[in-house]
Structure 1
Amino acid sequence: MRFRIRGRLYAGFSVLVVVGLIMAAVAIWNLWAVQGQMARLSALSDNTARVQEISINLQALRRANLRYIYDANEPAFKEAAEREGATVELLKDAAKSTVSEERLKIYNGLIGDVEKMKSLRESMGTAVNETAKGKAVLLAGGDELTANSGKLVDAARETGDTSVTAPVADLESKILLVRVANWRFLAVRDAKGPATFRTNVDRAQQALKSLQEAGLPDEVKVAFGPIKSSLSAYKAAFETTSAAILQADEIYRNSIAPLIGESVDKLKMAETGLKADRAGPGCLDSAPLDLSGFLPGYAERGALRFCRCVGRA
């Protein structure tokens, strides 16, 4: 079968077009493969940045909560709330773009942990608010107790009788020990502090009761009532305040701080997985379909053979 010149030209150009289309298809295939790998690498890089930012937020949460529990610093409380919200959003974004089921579980678990931190922080905030109110009551109540004790001491001194001034001075010292126990607890926040305070209150109340039963002058006895009342109010304020302080400390030390520590450890696991995936065979080092060396030679030989056949036809 012989072809005319026109047919030969058409056939030759057709071969070139077909070869070009095949090479273009291979190039597109390679581009798709590279694009997929780049998208995966981009997702891993974005999540690595998110994980680092989440870690910073968790450390900031620890500091903000600790500052608030001791100073009742409202900006610190607000900062903690903002950090929690930002962390949850970052975790949700990381969960949406992750390529690992294991890390997806970690991110979803951390979202629950941060929500729990928020609930614990709010409970701690309630206790800290009660503490602030209680401290104000204790300050005013302590001043009132000291003033009433001073009136009793002045009345006893005016009698000029050592049998009156001596037991009154003893009562005054016991009342001062009550206030010292309160100050020590507020400074140290020792769990044994309330027991020490109650012991000193009991001793002061017992000394006051003994003085009330003694045959003291009326001008001295008249000061007993205000002291008894202010001492009882001081004790009640301390009980409320100390309970709030211990509750806030317990929430932070036994719940919030350990939870933050566990969350940081989980985040380190996710970060390790991200680094492993970025360095693994799935990112840009698994070569896409490469026929660049094969196709040109094959196409050239095939085209020459076809042209010879056409030329002979």
Structure 2
Amino acid sequence: MQQVSSFRNADEGRLYLVPTPIGNLDDMTFRAVKTLRDVDLIAAEDTRHTQQLLNHFDIHTPQISFHEHNTESRIPELMAKLRDGMQIAQCSDAGMPSISDPGKELVAAATAASIPVVPLPGPNAGLTALIASGLVPQPFYFFGFLERKHQQQAATLTTLKNRPETMIFYEAPHRLVKTLAVMTEVLGGERPVVIARELTKRYEEFTRGTLAEVHEYFKNHQIKGEFVIIVQGNEHPEEDNDNQQGTPMEQIDRAIADGLTTNAAIKLVAKQNGLNRQKLYKQYHHI
């Protein structure tokens, strides 16, 4: 058991998780601005992008890059600074750290070392889209970005098609039509869906309909911006669905048999069962 107070010791290092606007800079909170000003260092996904935010709010705190390609080398460096009492804020380009963005590995390292991790509330594209979707808001299942290849998408969606929860996906504009085509193929064209585009920005819009309808619409219209896909859960799941039955190892084997690569299968099973992906990878490969 571990219990860590966020603010009891003023001299100890802390990791602050600071959400940043997903589009509209007015969504930056007073506390987020104050935190970025007060900390000793900002660990940013893209220092150039974050610098624009800092300039807007007249913040002069130094930055260090922290993204998916330098995670292993940066964590020991950042952990050493935290142990020395440094106050560090971690932020991604937009939205919540760790949610389809860098952050979770540093949080895991800090919590393992009993270093306080202080989360700030703030913008999140998935929840922002969900509450305006008109679909059942809870329970919901957040997935994020699907794999890029058709076969892998189809295999993943097959494991999700019987989930009763409203499902949340992210997608890039150049892949939206292909992803909607696979969803229509696997989940069924009559499944209700809401597509949220350019959330909090000037051209924010919601497209509501069935998967077949919205797929046809976006096939014939210019696509720009960032997208959140909200899919209604299955109100009549098949009783013989066994995608999440058995041990995680058996689930991985089934996902591979359905067409996923080994790494994609491990990632999916880890996400579905709330497991550590790296640990599951080592278990599966007997490392």
**Shorter-chain TM band:** under 0.3
- State the TM-score, normalized to the length of structure 1: 0.20
More strand by share: 2
Query: Which structure shows the higher helix fraction?
Result: 1
Name which one, 1 or 2, has greater alpha-carbon Rg. 1
